[in-house]
Structure 1
Amino acid sequence: MSYDKAAIEALLAKPRLTATDLKAALSISPALKRLKPKDWFPEGTINPDAIRVRYDLSADQFKAVAADLAAYQGGLLKGWRVFPRGIPVPINFRLELEIGQPFRH
């Protein structure tokens, strides 16, 4: 099997996730735009192809954001997970979003 060295170098040098992509993804929810993330972490080697963003939300904040996320049809939101905090009735929620472009050649 042969590989084109120039093509591989170009792929590694080209950012897969731009600042514009991230801003567009975070604008999917008007409620989310007003909230500050707890933290974020780039995922991918050399250049990130995704960013994982975490939020700690109250129950009311989560309800507002969840409706927007469930209705989102764009391609930048790769996935989202929710962790309720508080038993038996959650008083807040940890929301993790995975934002990024699908793999590109």
Structure 2
Amino acid sequence: MRFNDKTVIVTGAAGGIGGAISARFAAEGAQVVVTDVNAEGAEATVAAILAQGGKARALASDIAQPEGCRAIVENVMPPKAPSTCCATMPASTGAATCWR
């Protein structure tokens, strides 16, 4: 498992490509933080990951807004956090400004 002891943040993960990427990271041992503006969809992705024995939690957040990005960082990345990576799958290209 390539992602043991690592946290992976996946945005736009309520379904589609983001949901599939979340499931794959979980299958590789990652603790996946499933984020999306669609809270119910994010919870459904988490439920599917947990049902397969993976580790995941949902975080409703709109990365098109700076406060949404801050919420992710503040909730996921404690000081001196172990390895963390992020995969963004926004439905809107406007969200890319969040990570600058």
TM normalised by structure 1 equals 0.29
Q: Which has the larger radius of gyration?
A: 1
Structure with more strand by fraction: 1
TM normalised by structure 2 equals 0.30
Structure with more helix by fraction: 2
